[in-house]
Amino acid sequence: MLARTVVYVNAGTQLATLESASGILSPGLIGSFVLLGVFPLLAKKLVSLLKQRQALKGWERPAVFDRNLVVIGGGSAGLVSSYIAAAVKSQVSLIEKHKMGGDCLNTGCVPSKALIRCSRILNQSRRAKEWGFDAIDVKYDFHNIMERVQKVVREVEPHDSVERYTGLGVDVIEGEARITSPYSVEVNGIELRTPNIIVATGARPFIPPITGVENVDYLTSDNLWQLRELPKRLLVLGGGPIGCELSQAFARFGSQVTIVEMMPRLMIREDEDVAEMVTERFREEGIILLVGHKAVEFTQQDGENSLICEHDDEQVKVPFDQVLVAVGRKPNSSGFGLEELNVSLNPNGTIETDEYLRSSIPTIYACGDVAGPYQFTHTAGHQAWYAAVNCLFGVFRRFKVDYTVIPFATFTDPEVARALPTLESEAKVGRPRQA
């Protein structure tokens, strides 16, 4: 503040000494105005450098690095980050402990859309007369449907494979990473030294602390794809995008689906009239909707599972054969070294980042579901560009991540899509928006 005041006073003093119009071109006045314009930029840069030095205080920067960049996580954000780094001929290591492709390929976008596609074909066949046919007789086996879903995953898999990314120039390492300092990552007993790290570890299904949930063999978007027998009565906990998409698909295959949602309506983030259109279709297709119902306890009696809910100060008992928990996702931000470095987290567990996607440790960036605020595959790829470019070229120029228009799509029937210019509507609702 004092330095800024000195700059302004200096410019004012130079103006006060003007005696003629020709004095406007005097070196002193020109210099004062140049300083007036440049000072905010210099001050901002200086403050940033001081903050970085403070954050990295106590850590010795290695004289030599093994890699230009280390990316942790082989999902959408990690794949795009490493792809960009390899494209500009940087030495980049991508570490993945489980399956390449992350949630989108293995348990999210690809399998869910494959299942939805099958359910839509089945539904179309039942409406044959609308298209001028007398009848379309479709016979199916749910086991074969789920096998077909896995076949689709296998067909897409090569695009996200170790072999492909190795061919692109990425050093792909299969193992569990641990960040040991702002400049190093350990994997398989080997320490990789790097000037920058990108954390793209994704998220996992959130399991709410409902009494008795640990005694229920619940399904999530992770393990749902192991099913080969259609549940007769399927309880879906959560009326957001994931819950709605999968509820309609299973109902069309013949499950008696019940959706329990604590909010007053389904798809709470969508416009009310749009959500009502989906709600009406669900009711037409025989889906039981229990909105405004708070899940309280899972019980087992005489071999039957039930969920006890509260609604208008009364208890409602919902029997089921299997339950799908779809109430949001929890970021994977612990267990690999961030705690030891005191990297700041947001209240919902995502890594706190600045406008350049830097964490509180300036050499560690985050993108994708682990960073938020939007947990979508396309947003993960969008953030990955900024994270990779800022890591590799931030010395020359950094780019602020742009969320001007983020598209949202829910693949129910009818489909729902929108684009928002701000975070405001998402901030009005407590839990993270999923797709």
Average pLDDT over every residue of 254-265 = 97
In degrees, rounded to 5, the angle at the alpha carbon of residue 382 between the alpha carbons of residues 376 and 383 is 90
Note whether 99 and 171 are same-domain residues. Answer: yes
Note whether 198 and 334 are same-domain residues. Answer: yes
pLDDT in tens, 200-231: 999 999 999 999 999 999 999 999 999 999 99
| Residue 16 banded pLDDT, cuts 50, 70, 90 | low
pLDDT of residue 430: 40
In a domain? residue 381: yes
In this model, does residue 5 exceed pLDDT 70? Answer: no
| Residue 58 banded pLDDT, cuts 50, 70, 90 | confident
Distance between first and last Cα of the chain? 46
| Residue 56 banded pLDDT, cuts 50, 70, 90 | confident
Note whether 386 and 344 are same-domain residues. Answer: yes
- Tokens representing residue 245 in the block: 């998409």
Strand, coil or helix: 316: strand
In a domain? residue 432: no
In this model, does residue 377 exceed pLDDT 70? Answer: yes
pLDDT of residue 421: 58
pLDDT in tens, 344-359: 999 999 999 999 999 9
Average pLDDT over every residue of 81-101 = 97
In a domain? residue 422: no
What kind and span of H or E run contains 400? none
Helices (H) and strands (E) in the chain, counts: 11, 19
DSSP strand E in 238-326: where?
A: 256-261, 288-291, 294-301, 304-311, 314-320, 322-325
For position 238, which CATH number holds?
Answer: 3.50.50.60
| Residue for token pair 């309880």 | 235
pLDDT in tens, 17-41: 655 545 555 565 555 555 556 656 6
| Residue 395 banded pLDDT, cuts 50, 70, 90 | confident
What domain range includes position 218? 213-329
Q: Based on the structure, what is the number of domains in the chain?
A: 3
Note whether 296 and 376 are same-domain residues. Answer: no
In this model, does residue 423 exceed pLDDT 70? Answer: no
- What's the whole-number average pLDDT of the chain? 89
- Tokens representing residue 199 in the block: 């954390």
In this model, does residue 309 exceed pLDDT 50? Answer: yes
Note whether 166 and 103 are same-domain residues. Answer: yes
pLDDT of residue 102: 95
- Among the listed ranges 186-195, 248-257, 279-288, 419-428, which one has the minimum average pLDDT value? 419-428
**Whole-angstrom Cα distance, residue 413 to residue 287?**
13
Note whether 311 and 372 are same-domain residues. Answer: no
Q: Do residues 104 and 76 lie in contact, with contact meaning Cβ atoms separated by under 8 Å?
A: yes
In degrees, rounded to 5, the angle at the alpha carbon of residue 139 between the alpha carbons of residues 133 and 141 is 150
pLDDT of residue 26: 57
In a domain? residue 417: no
Note whether 225 and 339 are same-domain residues. Answer: no
**pTM: predicted TM-score of the whole model, two decimal places:** 0.85
Average pLDDT over every residue of 162-182 = 97
pLDDT of residue 54: 72
**Whole-angstrom Cα distance, residue 310 to residue 295?**
7
Q: What is the DSSP string of 271-293?
A: -HHHHHHHHHHHHHTT-EEEET-
245 backbone dihedrals φ, ψ, rounded to 5°: -60, -50
**Whole-angstrom Cα distance, residue 118 to residue 2?**
68
Note whether 87 and 200 are same-domain residues. Answer: yes
416 closest CA partner among 281, 284, 288: 281
- Among the listed ranges 4-8, 280-284, 409-413, which one has the minimum average pLDDT value? 4-8
In a domain? residue 382: yes
In a domain? residue 244: yes
In this model, does residue 80 exceed pLDDT 70? Answer: yes
pLDDT of residue 303: 87
Q: What is the DSSP string of 72-91?
A: E--SHHHHHHHHHHHHTT--
| Percent residues over pLDDT 90 in the chain | 76
DSSP strand E in 1-139: where?
A: 69-72, 92-96
Note whether 73 and 198 are same-domain residues. Answer: yes
225 backbone dihedrals φ, ψ, rounded to 5°: -75, -5
